[in-house]
Amino acid sequence: MARLVIDTANKKSRIEPEVYGHFSEHLGRCIYDGMYVGEKSDIPNVNGMRTDVVEALKEIRVPVLRWPGGCFADEYHWKDGIGEKSGRKKLVNTHWGGVIEDNSFGTHEYMELCRQIGCKTYVNGNLGSGTVQEMSEWVEYMTFNGVSPMAELRKKNGHEEPWRVDYFGVGNENWGCGGNMTPAHYANEYRRYQTYVRQYDKDRPIAKVACGPGTEDTYWTRVLLETCYDHAPANSHGMMDLMSLHYYVFPGGWDDKGAATQFTEEGWYQTLFKALGMEQMIRGHEAVADQFDPEKKIGFAVDEWGNWFDVEKGTNPGFLYQQSTVRDALVAGITLNIFNKHSDRVKMACLAQTVNVLQAVILTEGEKMVKTPTWHVMHQYRYHQGAKLLESSLTGAETIGIGEWQVPVLTESVSEKDGVVTITLNNLSLTDAQDLEILFADDSAVTVKEASIVTSSDVHDHNTFDTPDTVKEEAFNGYSGEGRKLAVKLPRASVVMLRVEGKE
Ligand code: AHR
């Protein structure tokens, strides 16, 4: 039988809430329709933001929202998205579906959305096709509290006070859609552009995010850190605070992604195998980062991650709209456990993307909204936000799979906050329940306070607008306990969360 030993006395790194962040791009129906419907819409909204979606995002405690891209960021000119809406420029979104972008959602709307969600802001600047002056003026527009041309423009547009920009990304995927740069070219451009991301509010400095790699190849990371690291003294908000990593799961590769809701047993294991590749991705780049920065002053921001399948039939191929099944729930559970375990280096992560795009947590159709299985996993895992990772060790769990797609049958992570221990477990087997003994290394007896599960009778199940509750978080009672031991039976293909506290 598998055994999980938890050492509550051995507290490790803090799991930053931002590890549970989200990404929203001007792509398909993520922003327009998905989050922003405009003040005049019949869909209930506050200042144009869908009330149902904002409420659902608050429920999973979205800590940070990245915007406006993605590839869109390096083509976005922020001045197109301010001022009277009727006067805003209309243009074609060349990256995503060739549709008209009317810029009705811009800086003011993004800040209002974050205010309603109650999350931190992460604005991604345009290095690929924008100028240093444009980027610098955007930062001035958003954050300068004084008399200056951009601050006056902001006030004229109705916002007297500056906003808080928590994170600022200097370009996106600049090795690809963000300008096809070599690492040396980007690293030098990064040095120049970030200089003008001015810290106008010394009490609330902006954390700068450099564009990192999107593959396991560490060449980009090495050149970037060689060029920029020396200038990032400890916690100084110097040249670089975070480096991004992007990691998507394409089950059969870019040209054979497969359908979101139809997959074989082999496809199940292949997808989970690739999701587990996140660990290698982090470890590889961490090995390089450790050479420059052994004290881990620079964090990783995995600011795009998730499953990328074929679009749903009949939808615009440029909109990347896909459904979400129990398979997505497992990928979310596995990935978030990996992030927790690497919380000494991974300081932020953003699921791609929040609504209606890729592994979304929410899907909308007109006034209807459904929460996907991934939303339910985010809800289970919300207790890890801001908690301390605990030392935990899993033994005796077998490896399962088909052909080359061999995976550990169980994954886990454990954290503690305010005396309550949160344990998140994944059973990757398509067929077999797993018995797990959980043993607490200290002497106190424990009691389970709350337990839940996300699974379904068929792993292809998903939530539709007619049947929105097929896959959801439900109370879990497959455990029994005595003293400092718990016995848990994890149903096949499930994500389980247990909240445990000490008992006299
Ligand atoms: O999330 C979709 C796209 O994937 C983003 O725009 C880009 O950064 C990545 O390649």
Alpha-carbon distances, residue 319 vs 182, 311, 449 (angstroms): 29, 8, 42
Identify whether 404 is a catalytic site residue. no
pLDDT bucket at 503, cuts 50 / 70 / 90: low
* 44 Cα–ligand 1 center, Å: 30
For residue 161, the CA-to-ligand 1 centroid distance in Å is 32
Find the mean pLDDT for residues 403-425. 97
| Ranges in the chain annotated CATH 3.20.20.80 | 16-386
Which position among 75, 173, 286, 412 bears the catalytic label? 173
Dump pLDDT digits (tens) for 155-185: 999 999 999 999 999 999 999 999 999 999 9
Q: Closest residue (by CA) to atom 7 of ligand 1?
A: 70
Q: Per-residue pLDDT tens for 58-92?
A: 999 999 999 999 999 999 999 999 999 999 999 99
Q: Could you read off the pLDDT of 231-261 as tens digits, one per residue?
A: 554 444 478 999 999 999 999 999 999 999 9
Alpha carbon nearest to ligand 1 atom 5, residue = 70
Residue 225, pLDDT score:
95
pLDDT band at 442; cut points 50, 70, 90 = confident
Catalytic residue among 18, 304, 412, 473: 304
Confidence of residue 229 (pLDDT cuts 50, 70, 90): confident
Q: Are strands 242-249 and 299-307 parallel, antiparallel or unpaired?
A: parallel
Pocket lined around ligand 1, Cβ cut-off 6 Å? 25, 69-71, 172-173, 304, 352-353, 358
pTM assigned to the model: 0.97
Domain 2-8+390-501 has CATH 2.30.42.10: no
Q: Tell me where in the chain the CATH 2.60.40.1180 domain(s) lie.
A: 2-8+390-501
The Cβ of residue 489 has, within 10 Å, a number of other Cβ atoms equal to 15
pLDDT tens track for 285-294: 999 999 999 9
Looking at residue 237, its pLDDT comes to 47
**Closest ligand 1 atom to Cα of 357:** 1
Residue 429 pLDDT:
98
Cα(23)–Cα(447) distance, rounded to whole angstroms?
Answer: 37
Per-residue pLDDT tens digits for 323-342: 999 999 999 999 999 999 99
Residue showing tokens 């009277």: 84
DSSP structure class, residue 378:
H
Which of 22, 173, 180 is the pocket-test mutation for ligand 1 (most atoms within 8 Å of CB)?
173
pLDDT band of residue 473 (cuts 50, 70, 90) is very high
Q: Which CATH class is domain 16-386?
A: alpha beta
What is the atom index within ligand 1 of the atom nearest the CA of 95?
6
Handedness of CA 445, 451, 453, 457 (dihedral sign): positive
Residue 23: closest CA among 91, 96, 73, 59: 73
Told to judge if 474 belongs to the known catalytic residues of this protein, a careful annotator would answer no
